[in-house]
Chain A
Amino acid sequence: MVTVLGVEAGLRHRLEALGIKPGQQVKVLRRGWWSGPIHLRVGMTELMLRRVDAARVEICAVDPGRVAP
């Protein structure tokens, strides 16, 4: 689950419009080769996000039993 978006305003707007906002659950589907981007699923949308940018999005683990798919 996303807790904090530690990014500048422009990127925060973009991330929120794509569904990445505090309180939202995200699922990491895969990581690209050679430290490539991360493939994420947020709600009904799939995204790619670079690792440097993803590192600034703070998340906490969610109990798997409570995860809404």
Chain B
Amino acid sequence: MTHGLDAAGLTLVPGQATVAVVGMPNTGKSTLFTQLTSAHAHIGNWPGLTVDLMQAELNLEGRSVQLVDLPGIYDLRGHSEDEAVVRRFLESTSVDLVVVILNASQIDRQLRLALQVRQLGLPALLLLNMADEARRFGVGIDLDQLARQLELPVLLISAKYRQGLAQARQAIARELTAAVPGAACPVRDLEIRLAAADDDLAGSMESILRAAVTFPAQWRDALTRRLDRWLLHPVLGLPIFFLVMALMFQTIYALGVPMQGALGTLISNFSQYVLSPLLVSWPPFLRGFIIDGLVLGIGTVSAFLPVIFLFFLAMGVVEDSGYLSRAAFLMDAFMERLGLDGRSFVLSLMGFGCNVPAILGTRVMRSSGLRLLSMLIIPFSLCSARLNVFLFMASVFFAPRQAALVIFGLYLLSFGAAILTALLFKGRFASEEALVLELPPYRLPTIPQVLRRAWAEVRHFWFWARRFIIFGVVSIWLLNNLPLGVAPASAQSLSGHLGELLQPLLAPIGINPRLTVALVFGFIAKEIVLGGLAVIYGQTASSGALGHALASEVSWVQAVSFMLFTLLYTPCLSTVAVIRTESKRLGFTIFSVLWSLILAWLVSFCFYQLAWLVGWR
């Protein structure tokens, strides 16, 4: 169960023990949470990405426990939004046990958080995660000594490799059993207590570390050192990064497009040979609605799920390996000149999967100018839903080699639009925010971890998409077939009227009335565009029939203009909604939508009119 951010709004069952997981970013906290609860938590190798509070019910030796995953924080006294959320949570909730999770190899600085929790007098348990990394880097920890010094139970685990998890569960159960029933209460005077003890913190941390931890005489991570020499190279670093990205996208399409074709054929065969004979006795209006409306629309979009799965798989590997933080390092100088920072770049990259989580990710930024500017540029990232449309249109109107160039060009334009937007508006959304980011050592992502993650993302995409697609496809079908008795999608139908109504605005950019209907519904979600086109033209996308129908009516210049507009205008209603809730400003949200519409129209207009002048038809 995922609940909102407001700590007070969590649903806590009376009588059930509450266990909160606290830890710094990049300690594998979310991985641990997922392993303990087998919930599909999103694992971010990006400081503070898990901002929604995840909570799950856990059965520990016959006792039912609420496990709450608090946002990753550096410091209980820190000034970030996440740190305030954790403070608010601890002040408003009776926590029976705090599980503090630290990166064992970085215990030299992370121990601070455990000491702060202890200062608050909260019952706690310390888990030292990434035991494998501590071993790799030569950090030796005397667990008994550390437990004695801290007066807390301490366990060494590796959440990623599932080591020590059973012992961790037992320890949590043991601590809960040992606790005095009803003793748990919210922390009072949290800030005062922390401030009072702050002066002793450094001293006690040093003495505990000296007694219980041995550090390597020499830094041992030769692998990270060697990789960074090339990957962060002042001249070669960026070209290598773009090469890696290009290879990644190339692989995704090389594998994904044939899979998509096969799945599409399967679905259209099902509709043609199984569903149609079954519904033959149904009234024609209803039969048309199901076969040409629902099945056609949903089938067209679901054929793209393999590409999306592969995309998130590849992103997961890049993210979990630690390379994404390096991308922030490499791009920061450039982004700084756009009034943004390395994090905005990484979030825009994530936006290539889906804009919604990328916009949620801007919560790691404290300066409101920086956040708003990032929210303004993220919607220009060519997300997987738009990619569906482009892959299809490019394959219809261009030879394979040209089609690849067209897609590549759209990616370039996506960056170009973001850069232009940032340059134009950086003055209005100025920021002075400092940038300090951790560069974690390179890690080998585990296969189950990235698979589970990609699966969760596809499910999430499908969940959103399904609701919008059903709504969108059904509406389009109705618009095309009402009033009763008109020829589907003709000029007399509702959609024909709608298309004609917008012609003065859209004819100059080469959008005909039928494409207009697809664009209007694309405002709700880009997932609808292709399914909508299939319904408008009454043909399946996979059999090639939709392609033929489209190509017979629309020129390639019009098709490119349509793609340019689709790339640049508002990605979907969910993105608008999330910009509204995250920026908390209606004016900014309207501005963001209007700017993307204006830019889309201008770019399409310039392209279409120029192409016309040059004589391309």
Contacts and interface: CB of A to CB of B under 8 A. Distances in A.
Interface of A: 7, 9-11, 13-19, 21, 29-37, 39, 41-50, 52-53, 69
Contacts of B332: 32, 36-37, 48, 50
Interface hub of A11, A21, A37, A43 (most chain B Cβ within 10 A): A37
A37 B113 CA distance: 27
B235 A49 contact: no
Nearest to B74: A17
Interface stretch (B415-423, B435-443, B558-566): B435-443
Given A14-B436, A32-B232, A33-B333, 18 more contacts: A9-B79, A10-B78, A13-B77, A14-B74, A14-B75, A14-B78, A14-B80, A14-B434, A19-B109, A30-B232, A32-B333, A39-B232, A42-B109, A43-B106, A44-B215, A46-B224, A47-B439, A50-B332
15 contacts: A9-B79, A13-B74, A13-B75, A14-B75, A17-B75, A17-B78, A17-B113, A29-B228, A30-B228, A30-B232, A33-B234, A35-B333, A36-B329, A46-B439, A46-B441
B79 A49 contact: no
A41 B330 CA distance: 17
A48 B219 contact: no
Interface hub of B24, B218, B439 (most chain A Cβ within 10 A): B439
Nearest to B328: A48
B234 A18 contact: no
B282 to A, nearest CB: 63
Contact of A10 (B107, B137, B216, B366): B366
B109 A45 contact: yes
Nearest to B73: A17
B109 A17 contact: yes
B82 to A, nearest CB: 12
Given A34-B334, A37-B332, A48-B342, A7 B436 contact: no
A69 B435 contact: no
Interface range on chain B (Cβ under 8 Å from partner): 35 or more
Given A44-B106, A48-B439, A37 B75 contact: no
Contacts of A50: 332, 336, 341, 434-435
A21 B206 CA distance: 13
A61 to B, nearest CB: 20
Contacts of A39: 228, 232, 329, 439
A62 B218 CA distance: 17
B219 A41 contact: yes
Contacts of A69: 216-219
B329 A32 contact: yes
B79 A13 contact: yes
Contacts of B202: 21
B365 interface: no
A36 to B, nearest CB: 3
A32 B333 CA distance: 8
A31 B235 CA distance: 12
A39 to B, nearest CB: 7
Contacts of A44: 105-109, 137, 139, 215
Contacts of B75: 13-14, 16-17
Interface in B317-342: 325, 328-330, 332-334, 336, 341-342
A18 B341 CA distance: 19
Contacts of B325: 48
A24 to B, nearest CB: 9
Interface string B212-224: 0001111100001
Interface of B: 24, 74-75, 77-80, 105-109, 112-113, 137, 139, 202, 215-219, 224, 228, 232, 234-235, 237-238, 325, 328-330, 332-334, 336, 341-342, 366, 434-441
A18 B329 contact: no
A53 B336 CA distance: 13
Contact of B436 (A21, A34, A36, A47): A47
Contacts of A45: 106, 108-109, 438
A32 B234 contact: yes
Contacts of A13: 74-75, 77-79
Nearest to B336: A50
Contact of A48 (B137, B139, B334, B437): B437
A66 B304 CA distance: 60
A43 B552 CA distance: 66
Nearest to B440: A46
A69 B336 CA distance: 32
A46 B103 CA distance: 13
Nearest to B224: A46
Contacts of A11: 434, 436
A33 B333 CA distance: 7
B435 A48 contact: yes
A3 to B, nearest CB: 15
Given A9-B79, A17-B109, A36 B333 contact: yes
Contacts of A14: 74-75, 78-80, 434, 436
Contacts of B336: 36, 50
Nearest to B139: A44
B500 to A, nearest CB: 52
Nearest to B26: A45
Nearest to A30: B232
Contacts of B218: 69
Contacts of B106: 43-45
